[in-house]
Structure 1
């Protein structure tokens, strides 16, 4: 695939994102549209897309390094952010939202559509494996952080464990991997149903990202945001510089690691911030900013590493 085609596909995806933003600004749809579509994607089209990936492609055992790296990169970014913001003179609820926003990456809603457009099912398989490890950070560690920085002092371990184990896309990941490794084949009818349900995922995911964009900032939030962005993308920048020195960048495994490390903050940061009375506005701004930055970084990586 040449650079022109890649650029065209990226621009198409960016157009859909800004279409979502324009639709929200024009108030064409109800105010709850973003939340409704987000849940529809998470519980309907995203699980179907995950299942479709594992139906189409056989897992190579070498790919099991990706869940480990997905978890490790998210944890490293969290540790750096926690140690830095722990000493910063900012309010507790703001500090909590900043650190929650550094926990994990938006893979399913953000990366899947782009990866599918550029690298097809093989690329989607790789980034899906990366996202398995990332899921423990997003739905486990981030939730723990939100508890720690909220007004409640007692961490509900059972609730956190249920949050991870009962998250439907994560369950589909595990089930799909098991069925793939054991060689289970689905009847054509089931396969066709899964394919049909997965079709709108890319468009809806990009549209919802645009729908949640928010550009309202004040001075204090800009300063905190800038510090958070530096920490968020530091591991990805280091990998971008270091990986080509030691590895072949034509490898899809290397591409998945690089792309996974520069993905934006997951939308769940807003949900956790709202649930635990943290700084919801800052979490929203962080998601907006990382979405824009990630589009730029991802475009550069895809165009450079064909």
Structure 2
């Protein structure tokens, strides 16, 4: 219960800090950098060496890759049929196809499923959501903005990204059955625990809704796809088609139901793919997702 309470308190603090005049306008960027350079690598180095490798990991790993492919097919076909501008199609593919599996996902999964659930969430996020964003996401953004994909730049962005470096090191440790001494593990655990409060305060600082926008129709479609159609796909695929059950399956479906990824929206905006629509999908999608996540958690608890 205290973890759920922490989520809403931190979001509320972020919203309140928007009204503090002394707070720098770009304060959330500093918080995001701390998460990227310290918190997420610490989580990877603490949890991944302890994960038991097996075919069960394919389920969380598939969430981001299959989810993005589903988004690409859905919005590409819809865009051709309805003759949308390329930038609108590209925006919806990226923002609706990438989930907020770390900044919002980690705190929610930890609150609902504890430390064991967080281990699965890390697999969804690091070799999943982040790598998809940094490869397929960038390629898609370049294609729909009219730019030629630069695969060398994409590769370098992945290889020097701190959470990915930590993930690669931690995976090597897992395979070699090596882990840090207990004292260092405790330090990594405490650093990793900063993800929840800092990420949610950062999200609260960024939340904004433009009620006068003309994008509400596309916003509704994008969020319906992300918050309902995507998790429904994985529920049918994992629970019904493969008849798979267990903590890893439930966490995977819950991560598929997360709001759009903040970094994905930034990526779309940076390539000129409907920046206002991207921002609105984050500003409305994140608070709305707390309601839709309750629905999916209820669905998963039905026997």
Q: Normalized against structure 2, the TM-score is what?
A: 0.87
The residue matched to 1:192 in structure 2 has which SS? helix
Task: Give the Å deviation of 1:285.
Answer: 0.7
Task: Give the Å deviation of 1:63.
Answer: 3.1
Task: Give the Å deviation of 1:165.
Answer: 2.7
The residue matched to 1:220 in structure 2 has which SS? coil
The residue matched to 1:218 in structure 2 has which SS? coil
Match status 1:184 vs 2:165: no
Q: Of the candidates 127, 131, 145, which is equivalent to residue 121 of structure 2?
A: 127
Asked if the contact 2:70/2:97 (under 8 Å) is kept, the reply is no
Match status 1:256 vs 2:256: no
Q: Of the candidates 259, 262, 265, which is equivalent to residue 260 of structure 2?
A: 265
Give the Cα separation in 2 of the matches to 1:269 and 1:69: 16
Partner of 1:276: 271
Task: Give the Å deviation of 1:195.
Answer: 2.3
Report matched runs for 1:1-306 at 5 Å. 5=1, 9-55=3-49, 57-65=50-58, 66-131=60-125, 132-150=127-145, 152-232=146-226, 233-240=228-235, 245=240, 247=243, 249=245, 251-303=246-298, 305=300
The residue matched to 1:106 in structure 2 has which SS? coil
Aligned residues: 297
Give the Cα separation in 2 of the matches to 1:242 and 1:170: 28
**Unaligned 5+ runs, structure 2:** none
Task: Give the Å deviation of 1:262.
Answer: 0.6
Give the Cα separation in 2 of the matches to 1:159 and 1:298: 36
Asked if the contact 1:71/1:136 (under 8 Å) is kept, the reply is no
Asked if the contact 1:140/1:163 (under 8 Å) is kept, the reply is no
Task: Give the Å deviation of 1:70.
Answer: 3.2
RMSD (Å) for aligned C-alpha atoms: 2.4
**Unaligned 5+ runs, structure 1:** none
* Residues 114/48 of structure 1: CA separation in 2 closer, same or farther (3 Å cut): same
* Residues 217/157 of structure 1: CA separation in 2 closer, same or farther (3 Å cut): farther
Asked if the contact 1:16/1:210 (under 8 Å) is kept, the reply is yes
The residue matched to 1:259 in structure 2 has which SS? helix
Task: Give the Å deviation of 1:124.
Answer: 0.7
Q: Normalized against structure 1, the TM-score is what?
A: 0.87
Give the Cα separation in 2 of the matches to 1:78 and 1:46: 28
The residue matched to 2:57 in structure 1 has which SS? helix
Asked if the contact 2:31/2:198 (under 8 Å) is kept, the reply is yes
* Residues 139/20 of structure 1: CA separation in 2 closer, same or farther (3 Å cut): same
